[in-house]
Copies of this chain bind each other. A is one copy, B any other.
Amino acid sequence: MTLSLIPLLDFPLINPGDELPVLIHESLQENELQLQNNDILVLAQKIVSKAENRFVNLTTVTPSDSALFYAQQTGKDPRLLELILSESNQVLRTRENLIIVEHRLGFVCANAGIDHSNVNGPWGDPADWVLLLPENPDQSAACIRDYLEELYQVSIGILIIDSHGRAWRLGTIGTTIGLSGLPGLMDLRGKPDLYNYRLRVTKVGAADELAAAASLVMGQANEKTPVVMVRGFPYALREANLQELIRPEELDLFR
């Protein structure tokens, strides 16, 4: 089946308190799109964080000793490091201008996903504002899904994505940070292959494959298309959460 990824054009800029589900509905209408069963909406993290007012003004942050230590290690702003540490379970690596952490949500990423570009805070100098990831992206996804499923009387999935670097490859790719209603991981083990052998090591990161796909359509240089409608997702929708995509520390060979 063809997989189609359709950007919602002219999506409005988001401010704290905006009702994202309502704005998505309005944008679907303006784009003359009707949600159907098994459709998935992919949302850029940034609009969810903005709607949930995850802005922090750096002038309000007092760095701890630990933040000052990592500021020295990385050359980054100690106030930003204070926020990164407060959003993280563990620091994995540092280098000049780089800090890799295990985020409190469980995944490994740079800067705890805290964003400094395309951030224009509610007051004062834009350069003072940063944007944290949503408090609970799975829950954010579930709320948006509930509203739209009720309104359209359909079963859909909601995926919230961010751009993550990779350990051994250059370039970021769109990666799941929260989801509701679609599988994170597809366990295909035990299914016979074409020659009736058993596939042995086949768990597919289905939501992450879709996150990467949608990221292509969103682009990176602006947030003008932060919502992408997906039709033709090949796997059955089901309840799921981010946790199923996180490699447990005891299976992690690369910390």
Contact = CB atoms under 8 A, between A and B. Distances in A.
A211 B204 CA distance: 13
A234 B217 CA distance: 7
A168 B93 contact: no
Which interface class (under 10, 10 to 19, 20 to 34, 35 or more) fits A? 35 or more
A167 interface: yes
A216 B194 contact: no
Interface in A3-24: 3-7, 13
Contacts of A213: 3, 5, 209-210, 212-213, 216
A209 B247 contact: no
Contacts of A222: 193-194
A206 interface: yes
A210 B212 CA distance: 7
A101 to B, nearest CB: 11
Interface of A: 1-7, 13, 93, 95, 100, 107-108, 110, 116-120, 126-127, 163, 166-175, 184-186, 188, 191-195, 197-206, 208-213, 215-217, 219-224, 233-234, 244-247, 252-254
